[in-house]
Amino acid sequence: MNKVEFSPSLMTMDLDKFKQQITFLNNHVDSYHIDIMDGHYVPNITLSPWFIEELRKISEIPMSAHLMVADPSFWVQQLVDIKCEWICMHAEVLDGLAFRLIDQIHDAGLKAGIVINPETPIESIFPYIELLDKITIMTVDPGFAGQRFIESTLDKIVDLRKLREEKGYHYVIEMDGSSNRKSFKQIDAAGPDIYIVGRSGLFGLDEEIEKAWEIMSTDYEEMTGKKMP
């Protein structure tokens, strides 16, 4: 990946302005981050495969589903059926399932990702890391927006970059959680390929998405010294 990408977390958008916000973002972003929570793995219930189908009516941007669910097998098949471009599963619920589900995603011509919680070591995914298209590092605990940024999780991003270079792996590295003005500098130093931005980094900055994007861009450029991609 030659440039940093930004993927808005649509769980945190203003659904009253769904079409307006998506129409604007279609011209600025590289993917959309869709949180799917089942009320079991995490206590909240959020978006769904149906939401992705509705989104496709007004967007051709690739969709990345983040499965915060207790039974990934049930949800993976639904996402395969609607051809969700990225299907990302939590490492913590994949014991005995990882190879089968990754193969199922790849056999459908889609991309497989793994999400790692703050307290989960990257070594837990080493048995199948060479198969992965994306690894997402949670920089907050999963399930809730607006949590405290856990800076120590950025060490995993640094380690995954080194490992990718040493082994020739093909995964991209994504960070998820409290990506905003306060954390942009630290995140940039770690060097992920994809920033997920939510309420604190984008949607909560202004009621109008155009202004919110402008503020986010300025924040990123001021804190990192780099131009917004």
Q: Is residue 201 part of a domain?
A: yes
What CATH number corresponds to the domain at position 104? 3.20.20.70
User: What confidence score (pLDDT) does residue 2 get?
Assistant: 64
Q: Is residue 168 part of a domain?
A: yes
Low-confidence ranges of the chain (pLDDT < 70): 1-2, 41, 43, 143-147
Q: Which residues are annotated as part of the binding site for a divalent metal cation?
A: 33, 35, 66, 176
Q: How many domains would you assign to the chain?
A: 1
Q: Is residue 180 part of a domain?
A: yes
176 is catalytic: yes
Q: Is residue 229 part of a domain?
A: no
Q: Which residues are annotated as part of the binding site for substrate?
A: 66, 143-146, 176-178
- Domain of 52? 5-224
Active-site hit among 35, 38, 133, 193: 35
39: left (phi over 0), alpha (psi -120 to 50) or beta: left
Active-site hit among 38, 176, 193, 219: 176
What is each CA distance from 165 to 2, 59, 170, 174, 181, in whole angstroms? 14, 34, 9, 16, 29
